[in-house]
Amino acid sequence: MGDNYAGMRLFRVSFLILFLELACIRWFGSTVVFLTFFTNVVLLATFLGMSVGCLAARDRRPLVTTVIPLLLLSVVLALGVWYVYTYVGQIAVDVGRQRSPQQIYFGTEYNPRDVARLEIPVEAIAGLFFATIALSFVGLGQEMGRALDNIADRIAAYTLNIAGSLAGIGAFTALSYAQAPPEIWFAIALALCLSFVPHWDALQVYSQIAVLLLVALAAHVPGLQTIWSPYYKISYQPIGGLISTNNIGHQQMIGVAKTGPGYLLPHILNKESGAAPFDEVLIVGAGSGNDVAAALQSGVGHVDAVEIDPAIFAIGKRDHPEHPYDDRRVTVYIDDGRSFVRRSGKKYDLIVYALVDSLVLHSGYSSIRLESFLFTREAFEAVAAHLKPGGVFAAYNAYRQGWLVGRLDKMITEVFRAEPVVIAMPYRPRFVPDEATQSIVTFILASADASRLARIRDRLAADPLRLQARDIRPAAVDVRPGELVPTDDWPFLYLRDRVIPALNIRGMLVMAAISMALIAFVVPRDRRRPNWRMFFMGAGFMLIETKGVVHLALLFGATWIVNVIVFSAILVMILCSNVFVLLVRPERVWPPYVLLLASLAVAAVVPMNTFLDLPGAVRVAVSSAIVFVPVFFAGIVFATAFRASAAPDTDFASNIAGAMFGGLAESLSLVIGFNLLLAVAGVFYLLSAMQPRAILHRGLIN
């Protein structure tokens, strides 16, 4: 009976931790824009809190009583930062020296700083939230550590932990699908949290009410409609058609014929080249419909409109002044653009990247953004392959930096074997690598038909068009010597060089200092020494998980549902590992270690895009094997070691701390790419196998 009670308690706390972790990642990331500049600050904060809590499992104080008040503090701080950033003009936040950055961060562009203004380093803000969110999870980690200690069968305990986490993912996925608001997420999480508090008091009750009220009020601004899509907090202003995502201006619905002729530019230039109107058009990033409306007004035959966010599409279908999505010539696909292009059997006269700029990370596990795999050499090759003879590719955005325009120019020239037409609006004669261009919309027109581009270029040079009271003329582009070209293995369009940006390094140092301080403050001195074997297992597994998420995003699309399937499949694979250990009860751990390292080596040397051209069923089978076989063997290694653990709370805490370290090590992908990240994971697993504790642990390695 005792084990059953402890088992249910472990399942509940595991569910709660995963559910609340996802809620915090979404809510804090959408409220405090600066947190998106550090790949996984909220995720790592939850890991730290869980790890410290497990290490404090034998502390008699019920730290779970601090969870809700500390979460309230984090929410208040988040809303305070949002208010100051939005409404108080005398405070500026320094984000990576945006005049000449190592990496372009969207949402906070460079502005000249007035000497009298107070400037706050963004890593200080990230550190503040890292600390408060980590503290919020310490009490839950303590509950998890106690539950692990109370179950004699360690594998059964670990299985319950994974099962609870899997249920937490499922529950949050269902709410995301239903576009439930955050007050629902937090109501569920806080109610579960209260079930672990021994005795409620006024602080617990009032803190819970305050969290729910503040979260609800923050999403209800007069004149705005707030929608929580699976990707964004969307703030929609019906008057003016303005759409913001995560408190950053994203797009505006306009009457293209009257106020948005810029959207007509690819069609106007096509006409100027002497060609007939485009027949088949593909628009990637169709959004609320401006580019679709422009295409229809230009007399195209048919439009395939691809938009990843269902809520943004729904706003456009309902409220766009020209109702382009109601036209019979339009077919809408809610999908990832790269995935759609790969699967499409059609060829197009025109393919448009329409302001493809997600402003959001693909997940909390990696540095890629939703659109990262659209801007690689392989992606542009796929676009070129889906154009008809003489077909045209158009992309436009405020690309912010001259070197970024040069990078796109180089990549397009190499793929299409013809120099593109580049237009700056407002006009500038030349793009220089070290100049900021964030106030300039850059339009790029590419084609394998060099003569067609030459006609357009000559026509504009001789007699500029006038559009929106601006001259439309071609601009020259200076490309840096040795300019990097993003690939599917290194898909970092916005990173200037193969480096870890100084801002990221400073952020890591801040998080490391906070972690050491929290451990010193909360964890008893005799429990601060980690199980290094478990630590390095956690670090290696985090990198395997990251590579799996990125790999399958490339193969099947960077959509939220693919993310959910990947994380769920990884947990299911761990359950399979546990079942194997329970049934087979291996006495030697070196065979799964060898198989794990061999599978990592195979995955590291086979490029991710190798599988793109395989038939659908074969692609699923082979890519799943590449991703999930290492997970299976890693699960066997962990479960075999954890089976005989004398201190499961300490060992599990060490594993979580290692996962946090692996999350920081993910930044190495900015230098070496994602495939070689698995080599780093292999090194971590080798280090885990070499630990003295592993050699002496029941003779498991022999």
Average pLDDT, the chain: 87
* Same-domain pairing of 545 and 626: yes
Q: pLDDT by residue (tens digit) across 621-662?
A: 887 788 889 999 999 999 999 988 888 888 999 999 999 999
Residue 471 placed within a domain: yes
Distance linking the first and last C-alpha atoms of the chain: 38
Residue 489 placed within a domain: no
* Same-domain pairing of 473 and 612: no
Segment holding 689, helix H or strand E: helix 677-689
Classify residue 613 by its DSSP letter. Answer: T
pLDDT of residue 114: 45
* Same-domain pairing of 449 and 395: yes
| Domain encompassing residue 380 | 245-477
Q: How many domains does the chain fold into?
A: 3
* Same-domain pairing of 535 and 520: no
Mean pLDDT of 533-537: 94
Q: pLDDT by residue (tens digit) across 296-317?
A: 999 999 999 999 999 999 999 9
For 1, the token pair is 């009976």
Could you tell me the CATH number of the domain that includes residue 390? 3.40.50.150
Q: Judge residue 655's burial from the number of C-beta atoms within 10 Å of its C-beta, 0-12 exposed, 13-18 middle, 19 or more buried.
A: buried
Residue 199 placed within a domain: no
* pLDDT at residue 432 tops 50: yes
* Same-domain pairing of 552 and 513: no
Residue 677 placed within a domain: yes
* Cα angle value 367/368/374 (rounded, 5°): 165
* Cα angle value 67/145/653 (rounded, 5°): 95
* Same-domain pairing of 514 and 603: no
* pLDDT at residue 426 tops 90: no
* Same-domain pairing of 9 and 129: yes
* pLDDT at residue 699 tops 70: no
* Same-domain pairing of 513 and 553: no
Q: Which of 459, 477, 495 corresponds to the end of one domain?
A: 477
* Cα angle value 671/673/676 (rounded, 5°): 105
* Same-domain pairing of 158 and 251: no
pLDDT band, residue 1 (cuts 50/70/90)? very low
For 484, the token pair is 């990097």
* pLDDT at residue 679 tops 50: yes
Residue 54 placed within a domain: yes
Instruction: Give the C-alpha separation, 455 to 432, whole Å.
Output: 25
Instruction: Give the C-alpha separation, 445 to 420, whole Å.
Output: 6
Task: Determine if the peptide bond prior to 426 is cis (ω within 30°).
Answer: yes
* Cα angle value 450/451/456 (rounded, 5°): 100
Instruction: Give the C-alpha separation, 555 to 570, whole Å.
Output: 16
Residues 6+ apart with CB under 8 A from 240: 252
Q: Which of 489, 524, 559 corresponds to the end of one domain?
A: 524
Residue 185 placed within a domain: no
pLDDT of residue 3: 63
* Same-domain pairing of 467 and 358: yes
Token pair 């106007």 is found at 268
Residue 482 placed within a domain: no
Segment holding 549, helix H or strand E: helix 532-556
Residue 110 placed within a domain: yes
Cβ neighbour number for residue 512 with a 10 Å cutoff: 13
Q: How many residues are present in the chain?
A: 702
58 to each of 106, 405, 468, how far by Cα in Å? 44, 57, 69
DSSP for 1-42 reads -HHHHHHHHHHHHHHHHHHHHHHHHHHHHHH-GGGGGSTTHH
* pLDDT at residue 702 tops 60: no
pLDDT band, residue 113 (cuts 50/70/90)? very low
* Same-domain pairing of 355 and 394: yes
Q: Judge residue 200's burial from the number of C-beta atoms within 10 Å of its C-beta, 0-12 exposed, 13-18 middle, 19 or more buried.
A: exposed
* Same-domain pairing of 508 and 588: no
Token pair 């439009």 is found at 303
* pLDDT at residue 563 tops 60: yes
Token pair 């990033």 is found at 285
pLDDT of residue 464: 82
pLDDT of residue 106: 64
* pLDDT at residue 592 tops 80: yes
Q: Which of 183-187, 243-247, 605-609, 618-622 has the highest mean pLDDT?
A: 183-187
